[in-house]
């Protein structure tokens, strides 16, 4: 392994069972997602021809993706150091874990595997606005490390890239990878009356704690990918300074300024 944590995908090491697990997860999510996930995600799956019959080869996907938005996929062994992760994003390289879960863990995993990283994250990297957002996030991550504000910035990743919802003319849709790769949460986030769904608000998100052990209690709704890019374009240094003095907001708590999204 190099200091950038990149490894070979080791495509030939996947077993028939590994490919069958991919196929089962792929079939389950693609049956569920039309009408639930945003059209840009479905378009990305299709243009990249993300396969139903087995784990895709990263080099082939990278060549197709690079033509579209300049992004490539690199294989990594699992979670990598923050600084290395951000440097990859800033250089338009998306790190994807190379191993796949076992069949006993179809529904829940504590750490990302190739299904989450690839099926969940890569389709939207075909969208020019989202592609730019992810690269800007990488640069912002390196900057936040220097400022000591990574705990705040990490919440933005969580509530957009992993668990974001988007308002479309035909209704609320999923774009977060943590949702799109999960059967249970793909249903829950849209259908269950319990969670809060509130309009995107950058400062609010930077103050919002989150839970990693269960479905989210609050989702933030963006209007479009270009409005997400626009909202996160300004220099965050003064925003961090303003937010630092405010209380954190516990997961699932509403504050008076919250604008509930009504469908």
How many chain residues are in contact with ligand PHE, going by CB under 6 A?
11
Binding segment for ligand PHE (CB under 6 A), chosen from 116-124, 136-144, 169-177, 219-227, is: 136-144
Site for Fe ion in 56-75 (CB under 5 A): none
Using the rule CB under 6 A, is 140 a contact of ligand PHE?
yes
Residue 20: CB atoms within 10 A of its CB come to 14
Using the rule CB under 6 A, is 143 a contact of ligand PHE?
yes
Place of tokens 């990918």: 225
Site for ligand PHE in 150-179 (CB under 6 A): 156
Residue among 40, 121, 185, 186 flagged as catalytic = 121
Nearest position to ligand PHE, beta carbon: 140
For residue 247, how many C-alpha atoms fall within 13 Å in the half-sphere facing its CB? 6
**Which has the closest alpha carbon to 208: 246, 260, 182, 179?**
246
Site string for ligand PHE, 205-234 (x = CB under 6 A): ---------------------------xxx
Site string for Fe ion, 152-181 (x = CB under 5 A): -------------------------x----
Choose among ligand PHE, Fe ion, none what residue 143 binds, the Cβ cut-off being 5 to 8 Å by kind: ligand PHE
User: Of the two residues 33 and 150, which places its CB atom closer to ligand PHE in the complex?
Assistant: 150
Residue among 5, 181, 186, 208 flagged as catalytic = 181
Using the rule CB under 6 A, is 235 a contact of ligand PHE?
yes
Q: What is the DSSP string of the chain?
A: --TT--B---GGG--HHHHHHHHHHHHHHHHH-TTTB-HHHHHHHHHTT--SSSPPPHHHHHHHHHHHHS-EEEEESS---HHHHHHHHHTTEEEEE-----GGGSS--SS--HIIIIIIITGGGGSHHHHHHHHHHHHHHHHHHHHT-HHHHHHHHIIIIIT-EEEETTEEEE--HHHHT-HHHHHHHHH-SSSEEEE--HHHHHTB---SSSS-SEEEEES-HHHHHHHH-S-SHHHHHHHHTSPPB-TT---TT--B---
CB of 82 to ligand PHE, least distance (A): 14
| Contact assessment for residue 175 and residue 37, using Cβ atoms and an 8 Å cutoff | yes
CB of 206 to ligand PHE, least distance (A): 10
Is there a catalytic annotation at residue 88? no
User: Of the two residues 22 and 137, which places its CB atom closer to ligand PHE in the complex?
Assistant: 137
Is there a catalytic annotation at residue 121? yes
Is there a catalytic annotation at residue 19? no
Active site residues: 116, 121, 162, 181
Chain positions contacting Fe ion, by CB under 5 A? 177
Chain positions contacting ligand PHE, by CB under 6 A? 133, 136-137, 140, 143, 156, 232-236
């Amino acid at each position: 392994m190099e200091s950038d944590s990149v490894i070979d995908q080791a495509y030939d090491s996947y077993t028939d069972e590994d490919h069958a697990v991919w196929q089962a997860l792929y079939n389950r999510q693609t049956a569920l997602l039309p009408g639930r996930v945003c059209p840009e995600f479905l378009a990305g799956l299709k243009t990249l021809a993300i396969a139903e019959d087995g784990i895709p080869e990263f080099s082939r996907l990278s060549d197709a993706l690079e033509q579209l938005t300049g992004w490539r996929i690199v294989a990594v062994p699992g979670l990598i150091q923050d600084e290395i992760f951000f440097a990859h994003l800033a250089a338009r390289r998306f790190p994807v874990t190379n191993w796949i879960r076992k069949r006993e863990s179809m529904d829940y995993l504590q750490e990302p595997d190739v299904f989450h990283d690839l099926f969940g994250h890569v389709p939207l990297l075909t969208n020019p606005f989202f592609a730019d957002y992810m690269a800007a996030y990488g640069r912002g991550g390196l900057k936040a490390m220097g400022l000591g504000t990574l705990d705040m910035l990490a919440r933005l990743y969580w509530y957009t890239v992993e668990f974001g919802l988007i308002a479309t003319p035909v209704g609320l849709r999923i774009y977060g990878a943590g949702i799109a790769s999960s059967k249970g949460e793909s249903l829950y986030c849209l259908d269950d009356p319990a969670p809060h769904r509130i309009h995107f608000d950058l400062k609010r998100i930077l103050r919002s704690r989150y839970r990693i052990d269960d479905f989210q209690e609050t989702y933030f709704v963006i209007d479009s990918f270009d409005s997400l890019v626009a909202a996160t374009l300004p220099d965050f240094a003064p925003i961090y300074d303003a937010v630092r003095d405010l209380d954190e907001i516990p997961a699932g708590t509403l504050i008076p300024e919250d604008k509930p999204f009504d469908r």
